[in-house]
Chain A
């Protein structure tokens, strides 16, 4: 176990995990190819860390199976799976030096000393920590500790690397630097990386495919572009930054086929949008990104709202306004606006996504 040459796919088959009466994971099915960088994305409590721990073996699954090619691995103990894992708070062994930490997995496998030293050196070079090799974790900065954690996970040459929000404890600048490092290391290793995060920017920039989870279930799997432009459900859309949410009804009440334009009425105003999936013809919810919603002239259709706050962002302004029906709207404006001013807001129909509404 450990050589990634023979491994082609990692499959999760209806994986489930309950804690007492609570379903932390339900029916997780996923097919991952060698070389892919997968992000598990979702809000707190969505089950992404649970899923990661099940794959690692730190939690047992209560239903379903996990396969590595045609070897079933969910019955193996965590010590036998041979995966590398990077923990959120790094979990570096505080009483061992950097070298010793990194070589731990190799020591456990009984690798011969010369080979062990060689591979530890290689890992240290990969994360660029040569000068820190003999220090204790307590003497390192956050970013350095993070790199030791990564080096420790990759030193055993694992087919699969699991990362649990590894960048969340770092400051913004370091996070951006480390993102690129992680992507580079992934490509060098050539295996699968599964990366858990709640930050959509991270997921968008790192992943080949993103798995959006909510309440233990997969809501959507797709490329970053898929998720950014075409979120499948309203909650995914909200998570991906479509902060504006309008409740309304379809204009002519009849069903709408997928990928079709349609008109809907929101508080008296009719807007044109696009439905990615079929709509039954009743109530709809529209999702619009703040950057797509802008003031339009009174000659065109749009939602009337009163400006509540306006923020200078450098090249434009970010504003919030309240519509006559009380909905809060976030929009972008080229020009400054006064608090209390009336404004009419609309967006390109292709950027107004229509989803099945909540109530009758």
Chain B
């Protein structure tokens, strides 16, 4: 139930309120139009034969996708991306969910400090801790390897999983677990028959979000990857960076492939989560 101002008699106040609403809508629409403009420009360009000084390209083709594939070794890059993202998703789930369970169910000395350790990587921006992290990885021989990239990406994702799962687990009445034990379930059966089904929606949501975020995670992979361990977003960056050498359209084709990848997973994720949860940094008010 919300407040509605009765508009049966139009006053200056009503006019002012209407103008305010219109200007907010205008701002939003302007933002969204430009956003779609940016995306549209990239897509159009990727299908353009030539697009130099006109509103629209002179012709359309899909050749750029073919050339981009070989030029940027997209097959290998995509394989690397899948490997990195897959490993990060699985590992952050395996490490993060039990940790979240312990944090939700137990009070122990040092819990606050532990919570702080889990919170910090989400508050400090990746590039700030990425540079020291990359330094350590290179010094221990993990720099530039696939393992190194995976390890680096785990730093923001494990805390993310923990922070998303804790409130979810807290919502599950602990008495359900007690009840299961009273009826004779050992820890393993408790896990399989009671906890797993209850946790699955939350875990699914958290891992899908990790997936989307890791595909787009640039800074950490950029700092820790070598030429054979680049994810798609890093490869895209390098190609734009060296843009003078290659045709813009093939870079745009690569960009469209990247975009499709993120958007497909975003759409899948949105079936299970609220868009707001993608940005959770552990500082949100509960709905």
Contacts and interface: CB of A to CB of B under 8 A. Distances in A.
A and B touch in the complex (CB under 8 A): yes
Interface string B1-45: 101111011000000000000000000000000000000000000
Binding site secondary structure of chain A? loop
Contacts of B9: 75
A74 interface: yes
Interface in A40-58: 53, 57-58
Nearest to B13: A77
Nearest to A79: B5
Interface size class of B (residues with CB under 8 A): under 10
A290 to B, nearest CB: 35
Interface in B41-98: none
Nearest to A72: B8
Chain B binding surface SS class: loop
Contacts of A57: 6
A76 B1 contact: no
A78 B8 CA distance: 13
Nearest to A19: B1
B3 A74 contact: no
Contacts of B1: 53, 58-59
Contacts of A77: 5-6
Nearest to A49: B1
A350 to B, nearest CB: 44
A126 B8 CA distance: 38
B270 to A, nearest CB: 26
B281 to A, nearest CB: 24
A328 B6 CA distance: 50
A53 B1 CA distance: 9
A77 B8 CA distance: 10
Contacts of B8: 75
Nearest to B5: A77
Contacts of B4: 59-60
Interface of B: 1, 3-6, 8-9
17 contacts: A53-B1, A57-B6, A58-B1, A58-B3, A59-B1, A59-B4, A60-B4, A60-B6, A74-B6, A75-B6, A75-B8, A75-B9, A76-B6, A77-B5, A77-B6, A78-B3, A78-B5
Given A58-B1, A75-B8, 6 more contacts: A57-B6, A60-B6, A74-B6, A75-B9, A77-B5, A77-B6
